[in-house]
Amino acid sequence: MSHPIDEKTVRHVALLGRIELTDEQVSTLGRQLADIVAYVDKLQELDTAEVEPMAHALPIHNVLADDVEGPSLPPEQALANAPQREGDLYKVPKVIGESQ
């Protein structure tokens, strides 16, 4: 049996998720989380000894296209809407260390 979902647990989860809950929401979510945990506990009863571990229920294959060189925009057109630029480059504010 899992740890019970009490008001303290719900408020802790809400704090971790940075969400504010009313007392009514705490009560409702407590019941809903308890139902979810009960369902997961029920799944634990299944015998999976002969089941091979898998990442997906269905076979999935990545379909990747080859890198093919193609036409690109000239710098003037690519940077036409840039708020700031320096030569043929986007100019952005410094985000690491002290700002200039």
Q: What is the DSSP string of the chain?
A: -PPP--HHHHHHHHHHTT----HHHHHHHHHHHHHHHHHHHHHTTS--TTSPP-S-SS------PPP-------HHHHTTT-SSEETTEE-----SSS--
Global pTM value: 0.48
Q: What is the pLDDT along the chain (100 residues), one digit of tens a residue?
A: 567 799 999 999 999 999 999 999 999 999 999 999 999 999 889 998 998 888 888 888 888 989 999 999 999 999 999 999 999 999 988 888 765 5
Residue 51 lies in a domain: no
Residue 28 lies in a domain: yes
Residue 54 lies in a domain: no
Residue 92 lies in a domain: no
Q: Give the pLDDT confidence score for residue 73 in this predicted structure.
A: 93
Backbone angles phi, psi at 29, to 5 degrees: -65, -35
Residue 93 lies in a domain: no
Residue 39 lies in a domain: yes
Contacts of 29 (CB under 8 A, 6+ apart): 10, 14, 21
Residue 97 lies in a domain: no
Residue 100 lies in a domain: no
How many domains, the chain?
Answer: 1
- The CATH number that applies at residue 19 is 1.10.20
Q: Give the pLDDT confidence score for residue 61 in this predicted structure.
A: 85
Range of the domain at 14: 7-43
